[in-house]
Structure 1
């Protein structure tokens, strides 16, 4: 019987190439379906909140942006005990230290995946709030999915070339407004863009209606 397998994308889609892992899981859910032994999950930057998912898995496949010190867009696969070391190669964001702690906590509790695979892509740009994936990184999503599918088949799963049902996708992924098509399509032109960040995610400058009523 195929092992319970968690396919996890981690990262922050608001910071350019940091969103690579999340976009991989999103694309996988849009193209493939799996049996009940496979769980897809957009882990975002949840850190230790992911612990119970990792503890329940017998195999873990992680997509992430990783600083390997290689050319931007380089895809590198790391397995087993080497995974935590590479995830901490450079603290690019809070989620990486947090996920190292998740793996360590799972080990300490004695409930941890026997198989761990990290599918990482070298980022080009991280300091761009509201920005999307850069071309060399986005171009590696299909290759990253091929690696994950090969591992899933090796583990005994049988991926089907059809999108996951929308209900299952909604459970696995972030809100539709944050999915790649909507997020990228909603970005204003460079001329019209807010220069202090992505105004879709900035606090409103207008007072709350309740405050207006009491003014």
Structure 2
């Protein structure tokens, strides 16, 4: 083989080596690269979630502080309102207190002005309580109403057609439409007529559908 042929063979070998594909990376190196990519993605996601958690925690603490301040402010407003309401009531009652002290300051034996002074005090006190919504219940001669009246005793009367208040033992009161204390009363009830011959015995009202006397003991 001459020198020219050897040179040709060498060129063919060089071209074959140049055209052959590059050697692929081993599987271990590819897996390591993929694992590093996954770890980096997880770390980035974890950092993002941690930042979001910190942001929500800070927001929660801020809202909690705002609510606590709101609660304290409302409690103070309620206390101030109660104090103002009590102050208004006490301020209005002070003149009544002054008049009571003046009545007690009258020398013994001189009772000419005692009754007038007590009547003045009573009138002032009623005016003060009326301004605060107090309404007196004095149901004398009115129809008995169990919502506002409490019957202490009853009396049968021939001249009555329905239950009626005959006497008020203690007045009742309402405050702004709500019952504070019922009036204690004596109630008059219509007197029952004597049973005629052939009528049923008293207490046997089941036959004629009557319920009997609701005031019966």
Q: TM-score, normalised by structure 2?
A: 0.19
Q: TM-score, normalised by structure 1?
A: 0.20
